[in-house]
């Protein structure tokens, strides 16, 4: 696996979770709404797993097969 792709995925992961934290803070600004927070966190968690860690996992599997 190229180092640049791994670094990109790690940075993308950090950006996604920063967006989650900011989104949660915006919802909690006036009053706590558990449903809205839950939707934000679950949505970003699914995005994170599908678009960040799934490609990383497949790259690691390819790398292990080549070794």
Q: What is the pLDDT of residue 4?
A: 64
Task: Assess if residue 59 is contained within a domain.
Answer: yes
Task: Assess if residue 3 is contained within a domain.
Answer: no
SS (H, E, C) the chain: CCHHHHHHHHHHHHHHHHHHHHHHHHHCCCCCCHHHHHHHHHHHHHHHHHHHHHHHHHHHHHHHHHC
Q: Using the predicted structure, report yes or no on whether residue 32 has a pLDDT greater than 80.
A: no
| Number of domains composing the chain | 1
Q: Using the predicted structure, report yes or no on whether residue 36 has a pLDDT greater than 60.
A: yes
Q: Using the predicted structure, report yes or no on whether residue 12 has a pLDDT greater than 60.
A: yes
Give me the mean pLDDT over the 48-56 stretch. 81
Domain that holds residue 44: 8-66
Task: Assess if residue 1 is contained within a domain.
Answer: no
Task: Assess if residue 2 is contained within a domain.
Answer: no
CA distance 59 to 67: 13
Q: What is the pLDDT of residue 27?
A: 82
Q: What is the pLDDT of residue 14?
A: 84
Task: Assess if residue 43 is contained within a domain.
Answer: yes
């Amino acid at each position: 696996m190229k180092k640049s792709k791994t670094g990109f995925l790690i940075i993308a992961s950090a950006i996604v979770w920063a967006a989650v934290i900011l989104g949660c803070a915006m919802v909690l600004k006036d009053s706590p709404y558990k449903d809205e927070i839950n939707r934000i966190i679950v949505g970003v968690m699914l995005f994170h797993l599908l678009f960040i860690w799934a490609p990383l996992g497949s790259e690691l599997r390819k790398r292990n097969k080549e070794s």
